[in-house]
């Protein structure tokens, strides 16, 4: 059986499932609020931010966009974060990456209040994930896990191979797969014999940023293949890291790009914002 996973539909269902929680918050006078900080005018970042803001409106979450010039001083950005950390109507703060080169991303992420860090990139949230404690989980890895759960993909005792070791996707995803009892291998740019390893995967996740890196000869027949990559091709179209046209006939299940992991990332951001609002109310 070959199945193309409909990430858009799974994301829409997840967003719809948040509505009762949003309504329960409204009944207590709280509207979840997300602040998105965008520094500079990277075109891809603009598209991502627009999608995030739109998804908020659909789900009854208030959003505010803080657009700062590309040459903004780091201190100004940090002051804005401090203000948003104090603002009781804002439950989630997201800094769209990448930041302009003169700004130290580590300092910026560390300045976020961990309980408002809806991207889950603050070291306190990453540490909570490592220790298996509840925190805010990075959206793309959480979205991948939601897809696997929705599709009924068994993980316990099975081999999951993650290609890519970034702090944003590869590493946190490997931890989540491990928490779900998979046997996990992380591959990266220095991995030797990549194809030999990926061919062993029951679940194969590509999070690299190289179009067509994963060909059909690298995939075990029947495997579940999740493509996180987003690559802009010379003709302007989008492609994942997986050679979708050829791998779809080998894989048991596969996510397309676009329409796979991307919409899930946005839905998880909304879920994290609603969760942050609920937790803020519980603390008062």
List contacts with ligand NAD (CB under 6 A).
Answer: 140, 163-166, 168-170, 187-189, 191, 194, 207-210, 213, 228-231, 261-262, 265
Whole-angstrom CA distances from 113 to 94, 173, 260 are 11, 23, 30
Candidates 52, 116, 171, 220; catalytic one: 52
Q: Which is nearer to ligand NAD, 110 or 194 (CB)?
A: 194
Candidates 3, 58, 87, 96; catalytic one: 96
Q: Which is nearer to ligand NAD, 68 or 238 (CB)?
A: 238
88: buried, middle or exposed (CB in 10 Å: 19+, 13-18, 0-12)? exposed
Whole-angstrom CA distances from 62 to 143, 188, 201, 239 are 21, 38, 41, 32
Q: CA 210, CA 192: separation in Å to the nearest integer? A: 17
Intra-chain end-to-end CA distance of the chain, in Å = 51
Q: Provide the minimum distance between the beta carbon of 227 and ligand NAD in the complex, in angstroms, as a whole number.
A: 8
Query: Hunting for tokens 């006078």 — which residue is that?
Result: 29
Q: Provide the minimum distance between the beta carbon of 21 and ligand NAD in the complex, in angstroms, as a whole number.
A: 23
Q: CA 268, CA 180: separation in Å to the nearest integer? A: 18
Q: How many CA atoms lie within 13 A of 214 on its CB side?
A: 34
Q: Provide the minimum distance between the beta carbon of 266 and ligand NAD in the complex, in angstroms, as a whole number.
A: 8
Annotation says 190 is catalytic = no
Annotation says 193 is catalytic = no
Annotation says 52 is catalytic = yes
Q: Which residues pair with 185 in a beta bridge?
A: 161
In 3D space, the residue among 97, 83, 89, 23 whose CA is nearest the CA of residue 59 turns out to be 23
Q: Provide the minimum distance between the beta carbon of 201 and ligand NAD in the complex, in angstroms, as a whole number.
A: 13
Q: What are phi and psi of 149, to 5 degrees?
A: -65, -45
Q: CA 116, CA 81: separation in Å to the nearest integer? A: 10
Candidates 117, 119, 227, 243; catalytic one: 119
Q: Provide the minimum distance between the beta carbon of 156 and ligand NAD in the complex, in angstroms, as a whole number.
A: 26
Question: Which sequence positions are flagged as catalytic?
Answer: 52, 96, 119
């Amino acid at each position: 059986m070959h199945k193309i996973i409909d990430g858009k539909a799974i994301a829409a269902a997840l967003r719809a499932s948040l509505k009762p929680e949003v309504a329960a918050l409204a009944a207590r006078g709280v509207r979840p609020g997300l602040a998105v900080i965008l520094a500079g005018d990277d075109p891809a970042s603009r598209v991502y931010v627009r999608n995030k803001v739109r998804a908020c409106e659909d789900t009854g979450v208030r959003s505010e966009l803080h657009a700062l010039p590309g040459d903004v001083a780091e201190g100004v950005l940090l002051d804005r974060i401090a203000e948003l950390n104090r603002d009781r109507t804002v439950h989630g703060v997201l800094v769209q990456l990448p930041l302009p080169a003169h700004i130290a991303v580590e300092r910026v992420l560390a300045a976020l209040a961990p309980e408002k860090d809806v991207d889950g990139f603050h070291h306190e949230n990453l540490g909570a994930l490592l220790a298996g404690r509840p925190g805010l989980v990075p959206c793309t890895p959480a979205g991948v896990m939601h897809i696997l759960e929705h599709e009924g993909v068994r993980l316990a005792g099975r081999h999951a191979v993650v290609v890519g070791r970034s702090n944003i996707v590869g590493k946190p995803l490997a931890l989540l797969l491990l928490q779900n009892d998979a046997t996990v291998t992380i591959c990266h740019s220095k991995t030797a014999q990549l194809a030999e390893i990926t061919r062993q995967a029951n679940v194969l996740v590509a999070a690299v940023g190289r179009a067509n890196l994963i060909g059909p000869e690298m995939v075990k027949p029947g495997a579940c293949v999740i493509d996180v990559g987003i690559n802009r091709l010379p003709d302007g179209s989008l492609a994942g890291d997986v050679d979708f046209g050829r791998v779809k006939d080998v894989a048991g299940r596969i996510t397309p790009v676009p329409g796979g992991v991307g919409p899930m990332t946005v839905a998880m951001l909304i879920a994290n914002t609603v969760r942050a609002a609920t937790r803020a109310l519980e603390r008062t």
